Amino acid sequence: MKVKGRNVLLTIMTLCLSLLFLFTVQPTHHTVYAADDSLQKIKDRGKIVMATSPDYPPYEFQVSKNGKSRIVGMDVDIMKQVAKDLGVKLEIKSMSYDSVLVAVETGKADVAMSGINPTAKRRQSVDFSEIYYNGGQSFLINKTDVGKYKNKAALAHKKIGAQTGTLQYNLAKSKIPGATVKGMDKNTDLVLALKTHKIDALGIETPSAEAYVKNDHDLAMIKSGYKLNKNETGSAMAFKKGSGTLAAAVNKSIDKIKAKHLTTQYLADAGKYMKVNTNNTSMFHYWTYFAKGIEYTLIISAISVVLGVLLGTILALMRFSRSKILKAISVAYVEFVRGTPLMVQVMFVYFGIGIIVNLPALLSGIIAVSLNSGAYVEEIIRGGINSVDKGQTEASASLGLAKGDTMRFVVLPQALKNIWPALGNEFVSLIKESSIVSIIGVTDLIYQLNIVRADTYRGVMPVFVAMIIYFVITFILTRVLNYAEGRMKHAR
């Protein structure tokens, strides 16, 4: 037992050390790397992987055709052309905007393309292609304010909204005197904030502003009037540092696209798709989106509940084992997992562990949520085991039953009954908290909800629908748990 425990500790320590090694060594490793095989690798593989956040029409967004949704938009069309020029297939990975650059840095994707502005700060961590499109900067305002805010100067000392981490955010902060800049993750939320007068104007790329104005008659737009460096205001594709050969090949394609003025056509096509999306913005029309969201939310929750309970049980048994090492591992694990946010854990599993093993987003999400839930379940089970009368263990021992059998047949069944309400609580919160996996692009309910909001230009209704769906799921689960609790009543 002791030797085994030491082995486990050794394995964990080795793993931690190698992880640390990978993280610290990686950057230098790449700058020193002589042969740049970024292009060759894609050609050998026969496909190029693009990371994008498809909630930004007309650059990238989702359309549903015959119940199947796909990602379209100008960026997608450009990337298709690039893939064609390279002679490879295109695979699109969708995720939250916050994650697309991390995805190329960690090798989850070859190229990030999501209307990204190549700011100087970003250039420190990734390589950029040439600017492929320069949409310019605008402000969205409420139509009722058209007379009030005629230009940038009128926005001084006002509340300006912008997507967190974007050029628009930084510009509003540095170039509008006295402005309060409010950052949010999604333009859909910002538009809602604008319409409810929580902000006075919204800094946004001109093509997006145009799309909103076209689809929402309460909104108007004004030119930003920023004097800007052309290299920073357009959109470019991002690559992992040291992808010179890939960038060169992609730039060649971009030059061709620019020369043929293909983007005009791409934007027109995107406009057509957007019309399809906004033709019918009733929530019923988008039911397939929600259905898919429910499916993934349920898959993640169901598997994570099972794995979480399994892990929690093992951790609880380790906690009660005589081996000090096993006990210490269990305590340390629980403390650590409970002391870090689930969101960070999800990103760590997907991007961090992704450096060693390339895990798909869904699997990463399930792993992270299970690992997280296991820690909480351990605490619940530990409490349950402690709640079982000591006389039960003694009676079992006096009959000659082994420790394992005592746990399995006597203590755990009684503990389970005592902890059932707490466990049910954990299941319900797991379903809700699993929504965090949307940041790495798992198409769960929250992710789908944001897609619907982006597609329909309706800010509130999809949120309301998702709220009802979550409630129905958890309500049904609670009924099932209560029924099971009733069936266990006879025990004592």
Partner 1 sequence: MQDKPLVEVKKLKKSYGDTEVLKEINGTVMPGQVICVIGPSGAGKSTFLRCLNMLETPTAGQVLFEGKDTQKFSEEELTTLRERMGMVFQSFNLFPNLTVLENLKLAPIRVKKMSDKDAEEKALALLKRVGLDEKANVYPSSLSGGQAQRVAIARALAMDPECLLFDEPTSALDPEMVGEVLAVMKELAEDGMTMVVVTHEMGFAREVANEVWFMADGYLLEKNKPDEIFSNPQNARTKDFISKIINS
Residues that bind partner 1 (CB under 8 A): 389, 391-392, 394-402, 405, 409-410, 413-414, 417, 490-492
Burial class (CB in 10 A: 0-12, 13-18, 19+), 352: middle
21: CB partners within 8 A, 6+ apart? none
Of 302, 314, 451, the residue nearest 366 (C-alpha): 302
> Least CB distance from residue 387 to partner 1, whole Å?
13
Give whichever of 344 and 397 is closer to partner 1, judged by the CB atom: 397
Burial class (CB in 10 A: 0-12, 13-18, 19+), 332: exposed
> Least CB distance from residue 397 to partner 1, whole Å?
7
Give whichever of 359 and 412 is closer to partner 1, judged by the CB atom: 412
Of 305, 344, 302, the residue nearest 436 (C-alpha): 344
Give whichever of 279 and 398 is closer to partner 1, judged by the CB atom: 398
> Least CB distance from residue 393 to partner 1, whole Å?
9
> Least CB distance from residue 8 to partner 1, whole Å?
22
The residue count of the chain comes to: 492
In the block, residue with structure tokens 């009368």: 389
Give whichever of 81 and 396 is closer to partner 1, judged by the CB atom: 396
> Least CB distance from residue 96 to partner 1, whole Å?
46
267: CB partners within 8 A, 6+ apart? 58, 74, 207
> Least CB distance from residue 396 to partner 1, whole Å?
8
Burial annotation 145-156 (CB, 10 A radius, 16+ → b, else e): beeebeebebbe
For residue 406, the 8-state DSSP code is I
Sheet holding 89-94, edge to edge: 89-94, 47-52, 111-112, 235-240, 126-133
Give whichever of 227 and 492 is closer to partner 1, judged by the CB atom: 492
> Least CB distance from residue 490 to partner 1, whole Å?
5
Give whichever of 255 and 394 is closer to partner 1, judged by the CB atom: 394
Give whichever of 16 and 402 is closer to partner 1, judged by the CB atom: 402
